[in-house]
């Protein structure tokens, strides 16, 4: 090793003297400290999400012995929250953190990599990314924008949302004013819902004043923090529209490719680790927060009626087909997603579902 390093160093010196252009050899790249900037779509201090982005940076610095240092900026600190994709694409910053459905207007096919109504749960979407070709396809979708994506987190199955009235059938969506983003928003719009997109800071006040009748947010951990239980009587489940939303960390292609191979590998490994960490934080945090909402705040926890969910499922299928038909890449991703969902569906029925059916009584949510 030492002899090879020596030869490389002397080779570089000779080339430099001769004025020949050389690429930075691995030995010099290993001595270099990379100082990067990351911008995120999240508010400062947002549990698991902004904290997850900061954890990613910290862990990467740890595992690389300080060879890569990333300064993390929350949404609005360096660029607007929804300016993250452009900032990374254009090379203003080296990396960013958010969710791919935020860029639906720019990259419609990207939506399938964050959340699909009645789509894959966290286990399923991770299986698709790492073992089913999903990540390769995601890379292909972002390639024209000079961006390399990695899954960086997962919210777990979200909640259906907070409603100021009971939801008995699909008809109850007609005329309802609801804050719900993404493909889920398109689905309820088909049912006659007036969909609004409010920034995080305006949702509670709008719900409390009746400007909107309903909102979805994330899960109990984040919903408790927002205080929605003070503004709406009914807390519905399940989050059919976001059954396992994947969060992303994205890299400017040039910046990523300039890194030595071992740092690229470190990035990939830490992203995967953060993905797992995030899901664990959501699972444990949601469990505790749900109990607090029920026991301390007497929240009326309600399951959507089966018939209402079935109607939403039909509308979702129509919506997905329509959205996919809008461009060839969306169609390609949609077909791949459907194929993988079908592939694991049968197994899920005899494993996860059958197991939950057996243990369901032990986790009954009925108030004592």
Q: Report the interface residues with Ca ion, using CB under 5 A.
A: 158, 242
- Give the DSSP letter string of 185-217: HHHHHHTT-EEE---HHHHHHHHHTTSSSEE--
Q: Supply the minimum distance, in Å, between the C-beta of residue 3 and Ca ion.
A: 57
Q: Cα separation of 6 and 19, whole Å?
A: 20
Q: Supply the minimum distance, in Å, between the C-beta of residue 15 and Ca ion.
A: 54
Q: Cα separation of 288 and 265, whole Å?
A: 35
Cβ atoms of 64 and 121 closer than 8 Å: no
Q: Cα separation of 55 and 200, whole Å?
A: 22
Considering just the CA atoms, what is the radius of gyration of the chain in Å? 23
Helix (H, G, I), strand (E, B) or coil at 281: helix
Q: Supply the minimum distance, in Å, between the C-beta of residue 198 and Ca ion.
A: 12
Minimum CB distance to Ca ion smaller for 272 or for 301: 301
Burial class (CB in 10 A: 0-12, 13-18, 19+), 271: buried
By residue count, the chain amounts to: 368
Minimum CB distance to Ca ion smaller for 108 or for 244: 244
Q: Supply the minimum distance, in Å, between the C-beta of residue 242 and Ca ion.
A: 5
Q: HSE of 333 in the Cβ direction (CA atoms, 13 Å)? A: 29
Q: Supply the minimum distance, in Å, between the C-beta of residue 361 and Ca ion.
A: 29
Minimum CB distance to Ca ion smaller for 135 or for 178: 178
303 bridge partner residues: 237
**Angle (deg, nearest 10), helices 261-295 and 122-131:** 170
Q: Which of 196, 199, 203, 193 is nearest to 230 (CA)?
A: 203
Q: Supply the minimum distance, in Å, between the C-beta of residue 20 and Ca ion.
A: 55
Peptide bond into 238 cis (omega under 30): yes
Q: Supply the minimum distance, in Å, between the C-beta of residue 53 and Ca ion.
A: 18
Minimum CB distance to Ca ion smaller for 50 or for 158: 158
Tokens of 176: 């309802």
Q: Cα separation of 12 and 14, whole Å?
A: 5
Q: Which residue is nearest to Ca ion (CB)?
A: 242
Tokens of 327: 């461009």
Minimum CB distance to Ca ion smaller for 145 or for 236: 236
Minimum CB distance to Ca ion smaller for 25 or for 238: 238
Q: Supply the minimum distance, in Å, between the C-beta of residue 141 and Ca ion.
A: 22
Minimum CB distance to Ca ion smaller for 158 or for 278: 158
Minimum CB distance to Ca ion smaller for 84 or for 329: 84
């Amino acid at each position: 090793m030492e002899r090879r390093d020596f030869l490389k160093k002397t080779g570089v010196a000779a080339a430099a003297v001769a004025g020949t252009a050389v690429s930075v050899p691995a030995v010099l790249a290993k001595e270099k400290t990379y100082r990067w900037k990351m911008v995120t779509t999240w508010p400062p201090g947002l549990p698991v999400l902004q904290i997850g982005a900061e954890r990613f940076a910290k862990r990467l610095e740890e595992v690389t012995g300080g060879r890569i240092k990333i300064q993390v900026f929350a949404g609005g600190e360096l660029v607007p929250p929804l300016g993250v994709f452009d900032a990374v694409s254009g090379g203003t910053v080296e990396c960013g953190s958010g969710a791919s459905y935020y860029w639906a207007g720019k990259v419609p096919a990207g939506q399938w990599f964050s959340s699909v109504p009645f789509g894959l749960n966290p286990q399923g979407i991770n299986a698709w990314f790492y073992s089913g070709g999903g990540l390769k396809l995601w890379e292909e979708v972002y390639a024209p924008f000079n961006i390399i994506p990695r899954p960086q987190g997962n919210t777990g199955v979200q909640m259906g949302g907070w409603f100021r009235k009971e939801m008995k059938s699909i008809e109850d969506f007609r005329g309802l004013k609801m804050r719900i983003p993404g493909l889920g928003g398109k689905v309820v719009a088909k049912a006659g819902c007036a969909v609004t997109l409010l920034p995080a800071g305006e949702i509670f006040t709008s719900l409390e004043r009746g400007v909107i009748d309903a909102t979805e947010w994330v899960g109990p951990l984040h919903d408790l923090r927002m205080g929605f239980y003070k503004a709406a009587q009914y807390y519905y489940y399940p989050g059919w529209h976001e059954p396992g939303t994947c969060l992303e960390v994205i890299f400017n292609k040039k910046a990523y490719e300039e890194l030595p191979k071992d740092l690229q590998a470190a990035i990939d490994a830490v992203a995967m680790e953060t993905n797992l960490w995030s899901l664990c934080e959501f699972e444990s945090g949601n469990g505790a927060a749900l109990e607090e909402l029920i026991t301390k705040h007497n929240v009326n926890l309600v399951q959507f009626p089966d018939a209402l969910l079935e109607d939403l499922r039909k509308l979702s299928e129509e919506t997905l087909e329509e959205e996919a038909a809008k461009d060839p890449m969306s169609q390609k991703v949609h077909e791949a997603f459907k194929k993988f969902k079908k592939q694991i569906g049968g197994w899920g029925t005899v494993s996860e579902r059958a197991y939950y059916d057996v243990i369901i009584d032990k986790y009954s949510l009925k108030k004592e």
